[in-house]
Amino acid sequence: MLDWLLDSDPALRWQVQRDVAGAHPAVWKETRSRIATAGYGARLLSKQDPDGQWAGGAYFPAGFLGSAEAREPGQPWTATTWALKDLRDWGLEAGVLAGTAEKLDRNSTWEYDDLPYWGGEVDVCINSFTLANGAWLGADVS
């Protein structure tokens, strides 16, 4: 089982090395450093828009609300909040996203009432993501 877990993406492998295998910190830190350049992390980073967002939206992709797709069950988990949450959970070093907090401050607003991204939304659950992502990136979330 351990071999199977270790034969995985860097976003998972470093955590298995640290938490399950008890690897020396130098080992798992080296693996963790590859999140930005290999596997899931690299693929998600490549999808970031020039304005700092993912999929053109804060919580939903641009154009999703009001579309036929929005009337279908489920939600696309591809917009900015979800991308940041995943990258943070995977262990990406925040420095890889240098400048992203500032770009989002300038360019991103919530779909509900067009509120500023780092100012938070009206939903408590969404705000928990905003606070965690903002603290990780060094944004002013006060």
Per-residue pLDDT reduced to its tens digit, 102-115: 999 999 999 989 99
Domain range spanning residue 57? 50-137
Domains in the chain, number: 1
For residue 24, pLDDT beyond 90: yes
For residue 5, pLDDT beyond 90: yes
Distance in angstroms (rounded) separating the CA atoms of residues 55 and 57: 6
Contact indicator for 59, 121 with CB cutoff of 8 Å: yes
Helix, strand, coil shares of the chain, percent, nearest 5, are 50, 5, 45
Q: Is residue 27 part of a domain?
A: no
Contact indicator for 15, 89 with CB cutoff of 8 Å: no
Q: Is residue 8 part of a domain?
A: no
Q: Is residue 22 part of a domain?
A: no
Q: Is residue 1 part of a domain?
A: no
Contact indicator for 61, 55 with CB cutoff of 8 Å: yes
Q: Is residue 41 part of a domain?
A: no
Predicted local distance difference test score (pLDDT) of residue 14: 98
- The reported pTM is 0.94
User: What percent of the chain lies above the pLDDT cut of 90?
Assistant: 92
Any idea what DSSP says for residue 60? S
Q: Is residue 35 part of a domain?
A: no
Whose structure tokens read 């999808």?
47
Distance in angstroms (rounded) separating the CA atoms of residues 65 and 116: 18
Region 54-83: what's the mean pLDDT? 95
Contact indicator for 6, 14 with CB cutoff of 8 Å: no
Where residue 75 falls among pLDDT bands split at 50, 70, 90? confident
Whose structure tokens read 């089982």?
1
Region 1-28: what's the mean pLDDT? 97
